[in-house]
Amino acid sequence: MRTNPPRRKAGSVATAAPEPEREHEVNETNIAWTKLTWNPVSGCKELTSGCAFCYAKTLSENKRGTPGFPNGFDLTYRPHKMREPLRIKEPSLIFVNSMSDFFWNEISDDYRHQMVDIMEQCPQHEFQVLTKRPEEMVRFAKLRKLPGNFWAGVTIESQRYVDERLALLKQVDASVRFVSAEPLLTALDFGDLSGVHWVIGGGESGPHLTDAKLRESRGMVDYVKTQPRWVPRADRIEWARSMRDQCTSQGVAFFWKQWGGLFPTSGGNELDGRTWEQFPRLPQALAPAQAML
């Protein structure tokens, strides 16, 4: 049993008012590699080029001033949502802070501890925590032992972040470590994936990709006007294929989420004639044998 850290006030950070009752449950999501999202905190700051068209920021800012997002994408604690997973009885994959970054340094450790406390009380669920700030994850993991249902993940969207973020991820004592290569902006050479259990990949999506220059610089897809449809770019299919081959050769589960386009599903998700939707493990209630590595 951990010793509770000293409680400290959040200072001037805003706290959202309780939302209507229908908002009080974790939300089902269209994110293909999870089942539910849980957001006891929202808001973040742009860190890398991978953040340029962040869906969470767009959604939050479009709803700034509403009951759901009174502060837009500014840091907002939502303590009324803290206990939501306790009400979900069916074992589930739960993506934590889809509208923020669990390890953004403006979120207090005290609040993080409260979230991890809830995870410990819900051993039937698997909690997927993804960050672009693995140095904070390493620091926090030294403060307390992470529960066995805490999946530690880092985003690696381009080759420049591979060495640093992968090395930091491997320092985290977690039962599942994973990489999200989305939006995939360059080819990736991971090198040694020992200690990593899962790699997710995917191309960017959003209305900005209707701009040909942005598709050229950021997209995994192109738009064929004569058909019309979104198709994987021939010069970038190898980026996905290489990731798959690195994973399969090293015994790492591989999940190809999407090629992207105007919508996440616009370009489909087949790679070399099949889908790749492997998981390192799943709650028993969600575990089809064919989805496991």
Distance CA 3, CA 113 (A): 10
Instruction: Look over the chain and give the mean of its residue pLDDT values, rounded to a whole number.
Output: 91
Confidence of residue 283 (pLDDT cuts 50, 70, 90): confident
DSSP string, 214-246: HHHHH-SEEEETTTTEEEE-TTTHHHHHHHHHH
5 in any annotated domain: no
The tally of domains found in the chain comes to 1
pLDDT of 66 reads 95
User: Which has more pLDDT, 283 or 98?
Assistant: 98
Q: What is the CATH number of the domain that holds 148?
A: 3.80.30
6 in any annotated domain: no
2 in any annotated domain: no
Q: CA angle 140-160-221, nearest 5°?
A: 110
* Residue range 194-252, pLDDT digits in tens: 999 999 999 999 999 999 999 999 999 999 999 999 999 999 999 999 999 999 999 99
9 in any annotated domain: no
pLDDT of 25 reads 61
186 in any annotated domain: yes
Confidence of residue 282 (pLDDT cuts 50, 70, 90): confident
User: Which has more pLDDT, 281 or 284?
Assistant: 281
Distance CA 55, CA 68 (A): 16
3 in any annotated domain: no
pTM of the predicted structure, to 2 decimals? 0.90
Helix axis angle, 162-170 to 134-141, nearest 10°: 10
Confidence of residue 257 (pLDDT cuts 50, 70, 90): very high
pLDDT of 14 reads 74
Distance CA 97, CA 88 (A): 17
pLDDT at residue 74 is higher than 90 = yes
For residue 153, which of 137, 176, 130 has the smallest C-alpha distance? 130
- At position 229, the amino acid (one-letter code) is R
Distance CA 75, CA 104 (A): 10
**Domain, as residue range, for 104:** 14-291
